[in-house]
Amino acid sequence: MQKTKEFFRENCPLHETRRISQVVIKACSNVQELVFTPEYIDHERHERDPQVYRFSSGWGPTTVLPDATEPDAILYVYQDSSMEELEFFWDGNEYFLAGPVIEREKAAPDKRYTVYSTGGLLTRIMPGVLESKGFSCLHATSVYNPDTNHMMVFVGGPGAGKTILMLEACLRQGYKLMTTEYTHFRTENGEVRFYLGSVLDNVRVGNLIYNYTEYERIWGKKILDRLPAGYNPWSSKVALDMTPLLPDREVIVNPRVSLVFVKIEGYREAPVVEQLKPASTRFQLYLNAAELISRPRFFFGCLPVPSLDTTKRAKNRLKIVDDMLATADLVECTSLFAGVNNAWIWKK
């Protein structure tokens, strides 16, 4: 028999409240290790020992808040070793998980898809919470040039090649990093505000040592020392802390904006560039904004979770997109299909 919401509220006495990105999340459990598990959440731990599964790699550092802080969403995780299977449901901005969570986490075939991991349950909850407060959650890397007040938003799903454009922009073209993974903006009172996001990125080693040797002046060759002997540079990644390349502000108000929908693929001989019409831009931006929340997921290798979307959420998401498109100073809306060596199509 599925546990009720009241059961979780009464039997998850251990809790902590944190600011994650622009919203406040409260985690509750009956065991301490399932309250924002440090292995995944602790930003300093990730800096010391970067792992692709850590929450910090997608969302950056989080901040512990006083218990009295009102949360925007609550995640309940109830550990019950006597249950054979995991159970999950949600209601509004309350999310409920019960079962042998610790056991399933230890046995998970991929640690990226657990509770607090970079692709885990908390990550899937975040877009709906952000959108309820008027923030976007684009799967996009953003960079900002303070000299020209220019924000470039590189939009694309996993493996699209956003990191290549980020490295080019920040190491060679004079841009500062806004976020490596998810782009958050909000439109209010006639202003579009872009917010600083995650600062860590898992970068393919081959792209550093063969394409962007400029990395050495920022991080030094020592960052490769953590890799095992005999590593393959094209299948190995290293976590870069982009903090040295951040702007001097955490919020950028009313920049000139370029939206670039990217696909970088190996060594294509020539880039293919298309200027998108407003309807196409709106369509593509909305699809990207819905990616994290709309797609079904498979956690712990045993828990299928359908979309966390609703019609109300979808309409609100479209409004967030439309408000930005109607208010921002759009320089361009472009589709870019290119190779590593010819992806930067803009002149200084």
pLDDT of residue 2: 84
Does the residue 167 lie in any domain?
yes
Please state the pTM of the whole predicted model. 0.93
pLDDT of residue 237: 87
Is 139 within 8 Å of 292 (Cβ atoms)?
Answer: yes
CA 133/CA 128 separation, integer angstroms: 9
pLDDT of residue 276: 97
**Residue 74: count of CB within 10 angstroms of its CB:** 21
Cα 77 to its chain centre, rounded Å, is 22
Same domain, 105 and 192: no
Residue 316 structure tokens: 């609100």
Same domain, 126 and 172: no
Q: Please name the residues in contact with 119: beta carbons below 8 A apart, sequence gap of 6 or more.
A: 53, 58, 112, 113, 297
Helix, strand and coil percent figures for the chain, each rounded to 5: 30, 30, 35
Residue with tokens 């046995």: 107
Instruction: Determine the structural domain holding residue 124 and report its residue range.
Output: 5-133
pLDDT of residue 348: 65
Same domain, 316 and 282: yes
Tens of pLDDT along the chain (348 residues) come to: 689 999 999 999 999 999 999 999 999 999 999 999 998 998 777 767 777 788 887 888 899 999 999 999 999 999 999 999 999 999 999 999 999 999 999 999 999 999 999 899 999 999 999 999 999 999 999 999 999 999 999 999 888 999 999 999 999 999 999 999 999 999 999 999 999 999 888 899 999 999 999 999 999 988 898 888 899 999 988 888 899 999 999 999 999 999 999 999 888 889 999 999 999 999 999 999 999 999 899 999 999 999 999 999 999 999 999 999 999 999 999 999 999 999 999 986
**Domain count across the chain:** 2
Same domain, 190 and 99: no
Same domain, 182 and 83: no
